[in-house]
Amino acid sequence: MPTRRALVVGAGVAGLTTALRLLRSDWEIVLVERASRFADDGFPCALRGAGWDAAGRLGVLGALTERSQPRCGTVVIDRTGVPFALSPKPSSRVPVLRHGDVVSVLREAVGDVLRRAEVLRLVEDDCGVTVEFTGGDADWFDLVVGADGTDSAVRGAVYGDQKWRGQGFSVVSGRLQGSSRDAVRMDLPRRSIRVHPLHDGQSAALFAWRGDVGLALDDVFGDVPGLPSSLLSQVDEVRLSRRKGFQSHLRRWASKQVVLVGDAAWCSRRYCEHGVSLSIAGAELLGDALDIFPHTAEALAWWEEQMRPLVRRARRQSTVLRESEVAEAFAARPV
Ligand SMILES: Cc1cc2nc3c(=O)[nH]c(=O)nc-3n(C[C@H](O)[C@H](O)[C@H](O)COP(=O)(O)OP(=O)(O)OC[C@H]3O[C@@H](n4cnc5c(N)ncnc54)[C@H](O)[C@@H]3O)c2cc1C
């Protein structure tokens, strides 16, 4: 019988995995999501290391592996359209999955606990948290998990105004007809492109740029060498979003009864290439911590202590090139 109540805010990878893990222990879960429909975000991501292990223990690895996409190397293209580096295929142990497939596998595993609601205010007391939802409802929980992504309202409610680094950027995720043997990555100042082949003969594409979200892809990327505008006009856009920038480093991810998991806590880059794996691993470990320690505050402090080095290590291993590294690679390339 459930003896403790947790509110999980956000039904992305971090929130769904947290709900799945806590449901295996003595928690009653209320999982709330503000979006009215599930965005089938299609860009593939590799499930690695701790995320892979945690997915196995949570019993979802089989369903995830069934949906995996082709493993391939990545060709890095320079600003003149010339390939200058090839990163190797991930190992055969690492499934490469569309983000939307990870979400749907987790949604199936969690079952029917999802509610459509948005958090307005949180007030922590010594033993729990009173939560006010938009629409006027209020409820009390032993624990609140903010898994509500980079623009986290829970983070705002606990830590006040959030600081952002860098400039905002726009992201379009879509599909292209046709697929290549390798994935393609092109990082230019102020804009970038990622393409990944899919099993269905199409390719997933991500376009990101600093500037107005309303601009047509052709206006932003039309001058990129090797990228015909006929290709740009064929992109079947499934999502268009504007991000505020990169979230500042947070000194704490947990207070006494509120904890941030996933992008709400540790996302500080445009492409967090370990974001899915870290969210699954972090959510599972949070459940373990809450099982081990009798007091929530103690569990959250221990969990944060374990997660910080894992996140730091993942950032160091990230295969994403920074602009300075790209510039260095250009400089080093023989003419
Ligand atoms: C352009 C881009 C490329 C990426 N590429 C990769 C990659 O290659 N590999 C990889 O591993 N990761 C990648 N990531 C990161 C990865 O997608 C995330 O780290 C991972 O999905 C975990 O996200 P999350 O669940 O923490 O947050 P999100 O996926 O943002 O989910 C948060 C959820 O909370 C909901 N929500 C927000 N506010 C509220 C509120 N107030 N009340 C209720 N619900 C709310 C949102 O609607 C959303 O459903 C990428 C991210 C981006 C943006």
b/e burial code for range 195-233 (CB count within 10 A of at least 16 → b) = bbbbeeebbbbbbbbeeeeeeebeebbeebeebeeebbe
What pLDDT shows up at residue 56? 95
Ligand 1 site residues (CB inside 6 A) read 9-15, 32-35, 43, 45, 99, 118-119, 147-149, 153, 171, 206, 208, 262-264, 267, 271-277, 279
Residue bearing the CA closest to ligand 1, atom 37:
148
Atom of ligand 1 nearest to the CA of 241: 53
Closest CA relative to residue 7, chosen from 31, 42, 27, 43? 31
CA of 107 relative to ligand 1 center, distance in Å: 15
Q: Which residues contact 208 (CB under 8 A, 6 or more apart)?
A: 169, 170, 171, 172, 191, 192, 270, 271
Q: Which two tokens stand for residue 17?
A: 């995995």
CA distance 170 to 209: 5
What pLDDT shows up at residue 108? 95
pLDDT in tens, the chain (335 residues): 678 999 999 999 999 999 999 999 999 999 999 987 666 667 888 888 899 999 999 999 999 999 998 888 888 887 777 777 677 776 777 788 999 899 999 999 999 888 999 998 999 998 899 999 988 899 999 999 999 988 888 988 887 766 666 667 788 888 888 887 888 888 888 888 888 889 888 888 888 888 787 888 888 888 887 777 777 777 776 666 666 666 667 888 999 999 999 999 987 665 667 889 999 999 999 999 999 999 999 999 999 999 999 988 887 766 544 444 444 544 444 43
CA of 148 relative to ligand 1 center, distance in Å: 8
b/e burial code for range 55-87 (CB count within 10 A of at least 16 → b) = beebebbebbbebbbebbebbbbbeeeeeeeee
CA of 242 relative to ligand 1 center, distance in Å: 13
CA distance 300 to 304: 6
What pLDDT shows up at residue 219? 87
CA of 149 relative to ligand 1 center, distance in Å: 5
Q: Which two tokens stand for residue 131?
A: 């939560």
Task: Report domain extents, the chain.
Answer: 4-69+96-165+246-317
What pLDDT shows up at residue 131? 96
User: To test the ligand 1 pocket, which listed residue (101, 213, 276) has its Cβ within 8 A of the most ligand atoms?
Assistant: 276
- 4-69+96-165+246-317: CATH topology: FAD/NAD(P)-binding domain (3.50.50)
Residue bearing the CA closest to ligand 1, atom 7:
273
